[in-house]
Structure 1
Amino acid sequence: MTDEGSLPALRVPEREVPVPPTVSPEARAMLALGMVGPEPEWLGVELDAEGWKKLVAEREAAVIAMTGAGGEFVGATVEEEDLGGFVVYKIRPDGVPADDRRVFLDFHGGGFIQDGGQIACSRAVDFAKGLGATVWSVDYRMPPDHPFPTTVDDCVAGYRRLLDERRPEEVVIGGSSAGGNLAAACVLKGRDEGLPLPAAAVLNTPCTDLTESSDSWWTNEGVDTVLRGVFAPAFELYAGGHDLKIPYISVVYADLTQGFPPTILTTGTRDKLLSDTVRFHRALLRAGVEAELHVWEAMGHAGFLGMSPEDNERAAQIRLFCENHWASAVA
């Protein structure tokens, strides 16, 4: 979806894309499975608010059934704090001392419309154990009842609350997919409201341009085995009638010269959001911001579903980045 009118397009032949021998056996096995799950159910369907709620409930139930998200958490202590309409999950893994002041402020993915609640908390618990640090996961409100700007406002409120207990240099902000967008939007809006920048940001395959203009939205269509189809209905629902190019919605259009923390961005060559990630990385560099881009061979939007050495390598790279910036910030 673009607003540039009718632009020239390259017509390519139908083709087969082989599983490359250049990745681990685990990654090859995952790629050999092909498409994971159906295309977005909203394609060609007009949905009212109740229709969206029903669709999201069905999708979240499928995620819970597939992943076992929720239930009893092993290996971490989880507390909830109500911030007035939404909650923050405070997760401290076993072995992390109570006086360890490092915190990762996490925003969950889910296309801006789903995967909050027990799904967000369960994923954050797994992430906290891999990171070896406390994680605060913001269970922000979502459309159809709470479109933009409520979602971004909730993210900023979560950061503001964390700053009541931590110095900004003790905080890293991050997220994946829609959560990567919201992490960047939280930094930008918090900055514009006078809040200090965190020590660093972690943006995993972030959706940075909701106009679907980036090249890999089209070149990787049908190649990314997880993220596929047109997301315009969900993005428009999230935007709530606002221009999709507002910088707090599509963060790639933001003025980054006014300040942004050191950032790591991760993606893969089959990721539908590869170009969204690359464009934001270039925007950060043009603004003079310290930024690392890590691209994995044949990796799609969801990595290799956490089942490969490449997934482990990415997790280790993120942990190292966070530890380095926590250490340098508080030294």
Structure 2
Amino acid sequence: MRTDTFPAPATVSEQAQDWLALDQGELTYPALDDTAGWLALAEEANRSTARRFPVAELPVTVEDLDVDGVTVYAARPDGVGKAADEPVFLWMHPGGLVVGGGDACRLTTARTASGTGLLVWGVDYRLPPRHPYPAGLDDALAVYRHLLRDHDPSRVFVGGDSAGGNIAAALLLRAKDAGLPMPAALVLNTPQVDLTESGDTFRTLAGVDNVLRSLRVPNALYAAGADLREPYLSPVLGDLTGFPPTFLRSGTRDLFLSNTVRMHRRLRDAGVAAELHVFEAMPHAGFGGDSPEDREAVAEQRRFLGRHGATAPEKEDA
């Protein structure tokens, strides 16, 4: 990031200003055929996530599940009771479609459960280089089908952050094409919904977003030769008719701001009730998670889910 050219504004909190002063660096990606290199990159990225989000510090219990052959982390916040009709937030982790699985997925799922106050099923969807598209999307669809066997669609909520937003939106396109009912609502936080990177902010915010750079190389690894314009790869290009009410979040320094605002307009054009939240000076994925702005974003998402029926049962006293 060019911090000399784009200093942190005084219009955001001190924590946000501190975050904007950091240069998160730029990854050097391996060659597309360097399987060992990609696996090493993922291992290091996942260790970094584990250091940032120690699950032991969160008031959440996480259970590892095997759901029709897919690993799922079921994270239940303390104080949230079990009930036959309890809401389930089916959540897809971030990671540029190449990292964020395993222990990192478990940890970010726990963090999502803590923020939403809901039972969250985090899908540890398969990733390249060993499992390129459509393996991860197939996993998400298998788990969604499973949930619908045991839950009314009005009690199922779907969402994802960044790359997880890609999987979540593509999942609903796949589900619609398969004749499955839509969930009660959809959450897309700074979603990676256009793998062609055609939007305006991929140029105007390049070097301004201090967290994210172009993901063209990981996108190519994930797509494995498929056309990036396919809607299951770039959901913003798909037919969004019939999608459920949708929450979208981004920031004025987010490289994926164009992704988010274009998805919002496409949803509105399709007659979907969609609300867009754009935060001042926020780069990709927020200000590190602990700023007042981050907490406000989490609260907005929680209110949205609550308005659409995501109220968790309280745990009965022993």
Query: The TM-score by the shorter chain falls in which range?
Result: over 0.9
- Give the aligned residue type for 2:301: I
2:210 corresponds to:
225
Distance in 2 between the 1:117 and 1:211 partners? Answer: 27
Distance in 1 between the 2:21 and 2:112 partners? Answer: 26
Of 77, 82, 85, which residue of structure 2 is paired with 1:98?
82
1:286 corresponds to:
269
Give the TM-score of the pair, scaled to structure 1.
Answer: 0.89
Secondary structure class of the residue paired with 2:309 = helix
Of 68, 75, 89, which residue of structure 1 is paired with 2:59?
75
Distance in 2 between the 1:158 and 1:126 partners? Answer: 20
Distance in 2 between the 1:239 and 1:210 partners? Answer: 9
Of 250, 255, 258, which residue of structure 1 is paired with 2:239?
255
* % same residue: 49
Task: Describe the superposition over 1:143-191 as per-residue Cα deviations: whole angstroms up to 9, x where unpaired.
Answer: 1111111111111111111112211100110010000111111111011
Task: Verify the 8 A CA contact 1:107 1:137 in the aligned structure 2.
Answer: yes
Q: Does 1:171 align with 2:156?
A: yes
Of 35, 39, 60, which residue of structure 2 is paired with 1:49?
35
Secondary structure class of the residue paired with 2:308 = helix
Secondary structure class of the residue paired with 1:222 = coil
Q: Does 1:325 align with 2:308?
A: yes
Deviation, structure 1 residue 213: 1.0
Cα 1:255–1:163 change in 2 (3 A) is same
Of 295, 301, 309, which residue of structure 2 is paired with 1:312?
295
Deviation, structure 1 residue 58: 2.5
2:49 corresponds to:
63
Task: Verify the 8 A CA contact 1:73 1:125 in the aligned structure 2.
Answer: no
Task: Verify the 8 A CA contact 1:224 1:300 in the aligned structure 2.
Answer: yes
Distance in 2 between the 1:220 and 1:172 partners? Answer: 31
- Give the aligned residue type for 2:291: S
Task: Verify the 8 A CA contact 1:120 1:137 in the aligned structure 2.
Answer: yes
Distance in 2 between the 1:148 and 1:104 partners? Answer: 23
Deviation, structure 1 residue 25: 1.8
Task: Verify the 8 A CA contact 1:69 1:119 in the aligned structure 2.
Answer: no
Task: Verify the 8 A CA contact 1:69 1:118 in the aligned structure 2.
Answer: no
Distance in 1 between the 2:169 and 2:277 partners? Answer: 17
Secondary structure class of the residue paired with 1:256 = coil
2:315 corresponds to:
none
- Give the aligned residue type for 2:61: T
Task: Verify the 8 A CA contact 1:111 1:234 in the aligned structure 2.
Answer: yes
1:276 corresponds to:
259
Deviation, structure 1 residue 84: 4.8
Cα 1:55–1:47 change in 2 (3 A) is farther
Q: Does 1:23 align with 2:9?
A: no
Distance in 2 between the 1:68 and 1:15 partners? Answer: 30
Of 147, 150, 154, which residue of structure 2 is paired with 1:162?
147
Task: Verify the 8 A CA contact 2:165 2:191 in the aligned structure 1.
Answer: yes
Q: Does 1:199 align with 2:188?
A: no
1:11 corresponds to:
none
Deviation, structure 1 residue 227: 0.3
Secondary structure class of the residue paired with 1:164 = helix
Task: Describe the superposition over 1:70-105 as per-residue Cα deviations: whole angstroms up to 9, x where unpaired.
Answer: 5x4752222222135430111111101111601110
Give unmatched runs, 5+ long, in structure 1. Answer: 1-13
Give unmatched runs, 5+ long, in structure 2. Answer: 312-318
Give the TM-score of the pair, scaled to structure 2.
Answer: 0.92
Of 267, 283, 292, which residue of structure 1 is paired with 2:250?
267
Of 114, 117, 128, which residue of structure 2 is paired with 1:143?
128
Task: Verify the 8 A CA contact 1:171 1:326 in the aligned structure 2.
Answer: no
Deviation, structure 1 residue 31: 1.3
Of 110, 125, 130, which residue of structure 1 is paired with 2:115?
130
Distance in 2 between the 1:234 and 1:145 partners? Answer: 13
Distance in 2 between the 1:176 and 1:306 partners? Answer: 13
- Give the aligned residue type for 1:23: V
Task: Verify the 8 A CA contact 1:73 1:122 in the aligned structure 2.
Answer: no
Between 232-241 and 50-59, the greater mean CA deviation after superposition? 50-59
Task: Describe the superposition over 1:46-76 as per-residue Cα deviations: whole angstroms up to 9, x where unpaired.
Answer: 54222221222222223334x1545x47522
Q: Give the number of equivalent residue pairs.
A: 309
- Give the aligned residue type for 1:19: A
